[in-house]
């Protein structure tokens, strides 16, 4: 069936370093992608989105890259801070509902 998967289940980085979280998606019809951050006991929080007519989109300290050829998404976090520690999910939207991956846990070491 349809799936969105993450290459790494856990990622540990030093405070101040850049983080890269990767994601593969399987549905070629998906035209909208979202990255969410989820802290313990909270609902997912929207970080950044990108539509299929773009390859790159930047926000505050975050950049999303989309490679439609290989169906790959990445989230780059610049100057990672302890407050960035959370589980990060990518999600694709092939029409209406979101399909989530399993998540990557980002741990930031002080």
Partner 1 sequence: GAGVSQSPSNKVTEKGKDVELRCDPISGHTALYWYRQRLGQGLEFLIYFQGNSAPDKSGLPSDRFSAERTGESVSTLTIQRTQQEDSAVYLCASSWTDNQPQHFGDGTRLSIL
Is residue 89 near partner 1 by the rule CB under 8 A?
A: yes
Is residue 106 near partner 1 by the rule CB under 8 A?
A: no
* Contacting residue, 49, 63, 68, 74, with partner 1 by CB under 8 A: 49
Whether 90 and 6 have beta carbons less than 8 Å apart is answered as yes
Token pair 């990557």 is found at 104
Give the separation between CA 99 and CA 76, rounded to whole angstroms: 21
Helix (H, G, I), strand (E, B) or coil at 10: strand
Give the separation between CA 100 and CA 18, rounded to whole angstroms: 24
Least distance in angstroms from the C-beta of 86 to partner 1 = 13
The phi, psi pair for 21, rounded to 5°, reads -115, 130
* Contacting residue, 68, 78, 93, 107, with partner 1 by CB under 8 A: 93
Least distance in angstroms from the C-beta of 93 to partner 1 = 6
Is residue 101 near partner 1 by the rule CB under 8 A?
A: yes
Contacting positions for partner 1 (CB under 8 A)? 32, 34, 36, 41-46, 49, 89, 91, 93, 95-103
């Amino acid at each position: 069936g349809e799936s969105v998967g993450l290459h790494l289940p856990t990622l540990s980085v030093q405070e101040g370093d850049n983080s890269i979280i990767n994601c593969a998606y399987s549905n070629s019809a998906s035209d909208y992608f979202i990255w969410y951050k989820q802290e313990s006991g909270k609902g997912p929080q929207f970080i950044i989105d990108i539509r299929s007519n773009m390859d790159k989109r930047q926000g505050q300290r975050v950049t999303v890259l989309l490679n439609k050829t290989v169906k790959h998404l990445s989230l780059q976090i610049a100057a990672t801070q302890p407050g960035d520690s959370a589980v990060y999910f990518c999600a694709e939207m092939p029409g209406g509902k979101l399909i989530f991956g399993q998540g990557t846990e980002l741990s930031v070491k002080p």
